């Protein structure tokens, strides 16, 4: 465990400040987010593509000038499923954006079940082929790809991998050194095989995302809890992630339309720092 007083391990995913839903959240420009994180001693920031636009190099420089890293970029367009036609151009552009930002890691949310198929086996094969293809371009750009398993409630139209074990199976099929796994507690906290899977993931964990699973989760997408407010065993999961050798940032990512997005962003940032120190 790192020192509890040190926030250099903490990264902000900007979705925590509510940018993600039209008309909700503070609408702070990236510069203000960067300054607010730097003031608090955060180690890094993770942006979403829509915030970056054509200012990737400029924003990357600004983050580093403030003493932080661009800890990642969210995310590729879907690689599978109904909305994945023409995936390659968009996915390559997101790799290029990550490279221009100086972000080491680009997250992949896979997309859902391929049209005309049932279940997941066919889609997972398609996914592996497309990730392998993208990994070549990403390697040339110096970017790592982090496959993020999602909670099974997102099967159908958002993902075709649900556990760290499944993400690793895709990694094995792809066999590229720049492809690994993103571990988000919101998605995998419930998995009783998680500790075993994380041990297998040693050397391939490329991201660790923090929030909490609220006991009375009411909405699939926008009802995440701040660390400590839910039932996930965050300390145990972090210990397993770091026990498997992960030394990268702990990225707080709280989509919260009913709570944190209604508060001033400064309050959410202070809470993220405080909870990270006390409950993770």
The least distance separating its own copies from the CB of residue 208, rounded to whole angstroms, comes to 17
The least distance separating its own copies from the CB of residue 250, rounded to whole angstroms, comes to 17
CA distance 276 to 8: 11
CB-nearer residue toward its own copies: 44 or 112: 112
Q: Is 41 helix (H, G, I), strand (E, B) or coil?
A: coil
How far is the CA of 170 from the CAs of 48, 106, 114, 174, 191, in angstroms?
A: 24, 16, 16, 6, 18
CB-nearer residue toward its own copies: 54 or 192: 192
Token output for 140: 């040339």
CB-nearer residue toward its own copies: 44 or 225: 225
CB-nearer residue toward its own copies: 114 or 178: 114
Q: Provide the CA 185 distance to its chain's centre, in angstroms.
A: 10
CA distance 173 to 168: 9
The least distance separating its own copies from the CB of residue 87, rounded to whole angstroms, comes to 17
CB-nearer residue toward its own copies: 67 or 157: 157
The least distance separating its own copies from the CB of residue 114, rounded to whole angstroms, comes to 9
CA distance 148 to 253: 13
* Angle between helical axes of 30-40 and 265-279 (0-180°, round to 10): 40
Binding site for its own copies (CB under 8 A): 82, 112-113, 117-121, 151-153, 155-157, 162, 166, 169, 189-192, 213-217, 220, 230-236
CA distance 82 to 86: 11
CA distance 207 to 7: 16
The least distance separating its own copies from the CB of residue 237, rounded to whole angstroms, comes to 8
CB-nearer residue toward its own copies: 51 or 212: 212
φ, ψ for residue 45, nearest 5 deg:
-135, 145
The least distance separating its own copies from the CB of residue 249, rounded to whole angstroms, comes to 23
């Amino acid at each position: 465990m790192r020192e509890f007083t040190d926030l250099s391990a903490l990264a902000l995913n900007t979705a925590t400040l509510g940018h993600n839903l039209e008309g909700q959240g503070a609408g702070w420009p990236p510069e203000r987010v960067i300054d607010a994180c730097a003031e608090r001693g955060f180690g890094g920031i993770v942006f979403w593509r829509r915030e970056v636009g054509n200012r990737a190099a400029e924003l990357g420089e600004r983050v580093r000038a403030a003493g932080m890293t661009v800890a990642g970029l969210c995310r590729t367009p879907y690689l599978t499923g109904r909305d994945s036609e023409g995936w390659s151009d968009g996915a390559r552009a997101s790799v290029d954006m990550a490279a221009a930002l100086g972000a080491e890691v680009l997250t992949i949310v896979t997309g859902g079940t391929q049209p005309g198929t049932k279940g997941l086996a066919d889609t997972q094969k398609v996914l592996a082929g497309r990730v392998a293809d993208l990994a070549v371009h990403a390697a040339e750009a110096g970017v790592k790809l982090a496959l993020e398993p999602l909670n099974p409630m997102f099967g159908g139209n958002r993902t075709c991998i649900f556990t760290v074990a499944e993400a690793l199976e895709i990694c094995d099929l792809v066999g590229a050194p720049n492809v690994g796994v993103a571990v988000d507690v919101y998605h995998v906290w419930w998995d009783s095989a998680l500790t075993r899977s994380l041990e297998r993931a040693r050397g391939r964990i490329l991201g660790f995302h923090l929030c909490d699973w609220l006991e009375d989760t009411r909405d699939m997408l926008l009802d995440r809890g701040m660390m400590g407010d839910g039932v996930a065993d965050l300390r145990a999961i972090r210990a397993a992630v770091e026990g498997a050798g992960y030394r990268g940032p702990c990225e707080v990512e709280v989509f919260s339309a009913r709570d944190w997005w209604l508060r001033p962003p400064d309050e959410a940032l202070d809470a993220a720092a405080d909870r990270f120190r006390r409950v993770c």
